[in-house]
Amino acid sequence: MKINILGCYAATPRTLTNPTSQVLEIKDHLFLIDCGEGTQVHLRKNKIKFSRINHIFISHLHGDHFFGLPGLISTFRLLGRDREMHIYGPKGIKEAMTLLLKLGDSWTNYQLVFHELTSKEPELIYDDDKVTVETIPLNHRVYTNGFLFKEKLAERKLNIEAVAKYKIDKAYFQNIKNGKDIELDNGSTIPNAVLTFNPAKPKSYAFCSDTSYKPAIVPQIKNVDVLYHESTFLKSEIHLVAKTKHTTATQAGLIAKAADVGTLILGHYSTRYKSIELFKEEALEVFENVELADDGKVFEFK
């Protein structure tokens, strides 16, 4: 599982700081999460193949999280895309994108499939044989969802030496990987545990931005391997969180601690501070495993 941070700063794009966008690589999928202005350029800078992106998740309809989307949709057309593109985001996103394309008398030669979100409860919005994606309802100034990405438990791994030893025909391999025991011709039974290894533990990633401090999300994100949580402010600016519905680094750390996550990645920093290290220092006071997102940074979890 790999997280490629294209942009992780709050508000307007600046010369050296990009608005929110990241690419999650999970089980051969490239999921694009949020799409601030300039995302398509940052995808290129980070050498991410446009054609591998088939699903885009938009948390909310503030500009710094989706004003790069119309340009990206247009660019996919210019690149000759023909595969469906699925876009998950708040209701209204379809009307906006469609209007912008219509005004330019433009079209897409691939199918755009919008999955508009309105529920205030967690919803399963994507499910295939390897991965699921659920919404994490957040509390921001407009309707906002985080997203919880979970790998499914993979099939068991064949112990090549063991199956050779018992001379098991490969016609049985899929059954073995599915966890079945095997009866040999001599009538004895070889337990599955002898023939297989445990598969890798499924990984999970929760993306939570933008939101005010919302402990109600803790049960849903309990024990995730990685939590990306916004921390727009330091605690010195806690007087700003109620109005802006953002979070301090301390609050992000408290969520991570309560959910007992593996790693907390902080992001969505206000550009008022002179160093993002300050966010890490603050979160470390309440939670031990803190990383700082930064534009162009890649986190890999094996």
Active site members? 64
Show Cβ contacts of residue 57 under 8 Å, excluding neighbours closer than 6 positions.
31, 32, 33, 34, 88, 89, 133, 147, 207
Nearest CB to its own copies, comparing residues 91 and 235:
91
Cα gap 268→226, rounded to integer Å? 16
Tell me the C-alpha distance between 22 and 206, whole Å: 12
Rank residues 151 and 210 by Cβ distance to its own copies and give the closer one.
210
- In the complex, the smallest distance separating the C-beta of residue 116 from its own copies, rounded to whole angstroms, is 12
Largest pairwise CA distance in the chain: 75
Q: Among candidates 20, 24, 3, 2, which has minimal Cα distance to 11?
A: 20
Write out the residues near its own copies by the rule CB under 8 A.
Answer: 11-15, 37-38, 40-41, 44-45, 60-64, 67-68, 70-71, 74-75, 78, 90, 92-93, 95-96, 99-100, 103-106, 141-142
Rounded least distance, CB 40 to its own copies, Å? 6
Residue 104 or 191 having the CB closest to its own copies: 104
**Minimum gap (Å) between residue 62 Cβ and its own copies:** 5
Q: Which is nearer to its own copies, 9 or 287 (CB)?
A: 9
Q: How near is the Cβ of 280 to its own copies at its closest, in Å? A: 26
Task: Using CB atoms within 10 Å of the CB of residue 248, give its burial: 0 to 12 exposed, 13 to 18 middle, 19+ buried.
Answer: buried
The answer to whether 117 touches 94, Cβ cutoff 8 Å, is no
